[in-house]
Structure 1
């Protein structure tokens, strides 16, 4: 399979009153054609900023792309003129935003918001765009699409607005779909419907998907590969099976332990990750998870570990996987 997206050494900061927030720090990953990749982590880990940077939606200022490369289908996006980027955005790369109520235009009908991209990117006539918009609303499960197409976002429920967002994102048959928390604030029944819809659409169209979420249950159901982010950095990657059955980073293990499991005794308590993420205005000199890690060593406080490759598909950034960590010793380890 060819590589659709390749992100290399991406760093993004925001200049605020208190200083420079280093939101994304040296992130590198790739997505292959037809692959579903999850990016998981706590709020503030850099997931959404990474996605918005790929789409070139970071406001400048205060946002600033410090370094890195984002290549989509062999084309560098970060140096692309804005007019050219508009042809990519929505046409070749679609995005489902986190909050459909604030992402949809309240002054435009749902139909017009779908038709707009079709007329601009696909050069469709207004009548053909309307027919296609009705087809898309039908495809995403909106009842009575012929009448719904003339309604405004406030006429739609939360689940229907999210379906409308998916219809807009898929209107031009993008090669890559970025879904940023697509089921946030939806009840579990609607969540299941949205996820089933995305899986079916991926099978039908062969679209690559980047799913940004903190819900590992969704990841287990939808994705092929998992990227774990913490404090603006990728700390572990692997296939879904590797991450769920053989996690290696203490943070990844902590995420899994904090979730309820079907094979878990009802009297067995969930184990939260204690502490809070670091301040990214002054990020830690060493490992970002050091202050919350039960296995932290002296070297973790002063030096950032390199990735250790555990298999062809799994790698982790942790001193526990490197011989130097055991040599230095410290908290939670024998000196």
Structure 2
């Protein structure tokens, strides 16, 4: 895509364990443009967070390693950078919001110390100037009395406020890309809505691009421009929000959509779960990874991995049902 900010090609990440090699990410490719929001959705354990941590080069080596693939930010391959070079990227060019704010924040340091640490590392400024930047960001993320809040500790903030703190911390160095890993997990629906609105407001004011990682399709519908549906370490469908929600083509995507409640549908209809469990990534299937859970599975699905099919300019899927020789069951 033209004007690409981040481009990932054929990324594979594995972890060595006593039981063998876990192939957590298997050939993932996608791109993010300036100022857009791209979502990665899927069940727990599908490789979403590992993909995000790989972009930031936060995978512990060993046991983890990037087997192959590239992660280009403005054409620079992050996968080939040294740890020292990556420190100049983290925070300054790419910010990250981790899953659990309470475990990500240091309980022994004040909020002000934690907010200003990154900007003091990357920029030449005094503590006073850094505090001023921190106060402005706390205003931006909706925290009242920010000058007083800088002196407080994380335990003095509510769960929603801690999440706002994490967003402010990730934005301190004005990065071009923000990675939000399950940013609304463990928050009640009212606070979730506030956080989503906050992301929209921040994007309008700063133009930051966002990768949002979640299993919550309601969150995705409100904020994302494009969606990557991930299963067993692979992206099985990719498209715009409208294409994924109204024209889903992969059986797994359709299963995700029918397993969550809808406000615009018949509420008397029961939710339909996806039966079975994801495959063992110690020994991934030879063919399509979704075969054992797919009601449309054919012999070819078990024996051969499907090719990626282009459905439109921005809509792709990886499924044998797209083959011209197959009569679609839906």
Match of 2:243 in 1: 242
- Whole-angstrom distance in 2 between the partners of 1:73 and 1:100: 29
Instruction: Give the number of aligned pairs.
Output: 328
Shift of 1:325: 5.3
- Whole-angstrom distance in 1 between the partners of 2:124 and 2:83: 19
Match of 1:313 in 2: 314
Contact kept, 8 Å, 1:56 with 1:78, in 2: the verdict is yes
**Mapping 1:94-133, distance limit 5 Å:** 94-133=95-134
**Mapping 1:65-144, distance limit 5 Å:** 65-144=66-145
User: Given the alignment of the two structures, is residue 295 of structure 1 paired with residue 293 of structure 2, yes or no?
Assistant: no
**Mapping 1:1-335, distance limit 5 Å:** 2-323=3-324
- Whole-angstrom distance in 2 between the partners of 1:256 and 1:99: 26
Shift of 1:266: 2.3
- Whole-angstrom distance in 2 between the partners of 1:304 and 1:323: 16
Contact kept, 8 Å, 1:297 with 1:325, in 2: the verdict is no
Task: Give deviations 1:169-219, integer Å, cap 9, x for gaps.
Answer: 001110000000001100111111111111110011111110100111111
- Whole-angstrom distance in 2 between the partners of 1:244 and 1:86: 38
Q: TM-score, normalised by structure 2?
A: 0.97
Shift of 1:67: 0.4
C-alpha root-mean-square deviation of aligned residues, in Å?
Answer: 1.2
Shift of 1:323: 3.1
- Whole-angstrom distance in 1 between the partners of 2:98 and 2:325: 42
Question: What SS class does the counterpart of residue 45 from structure 1 fall into?
Answer: coil
Task: Give deviations 1:220-249, integer Å, cap 9, x for gaps.
Answer: 100100000000000000000000000000
Question: What SS class does the counterpart of residue 310 from structure 1 fall into?
Answer: strand
Question: What SS class does the counterpart of residue 189 from structure 1 fall into?
Answer: helix
Shift of 1:263: 2.3
Match of 1:329 in 2: none
Shift of 1:17: 1.3
Task: Give deviations 1:58-117, integer Å, cap 9, x for gaps.
Answer: 001111110000000111101112111101101110001011111111221111111111
Contact kept, 8 Å, 1:254 with 1:271, in 2: the verdict is yes
- Whole-angstrom distance in 2 between the partners of 1:81 and 1:273: 42
Task: Give deviations 1:147-190, integer Å, cap 9, x for gaps.
Answer: 11111111111111100000000011100000000011001111
Question: What SS class does the counterpart of residue 242 from structure 2 fall into?
Answer: helix
Shift of 1:14: 0.6
- Whole-angstrom distance in 2 between the partners of 1:234 and 1:39: 9
Q: TM-score, normalised by structure 1?
A: 0.96
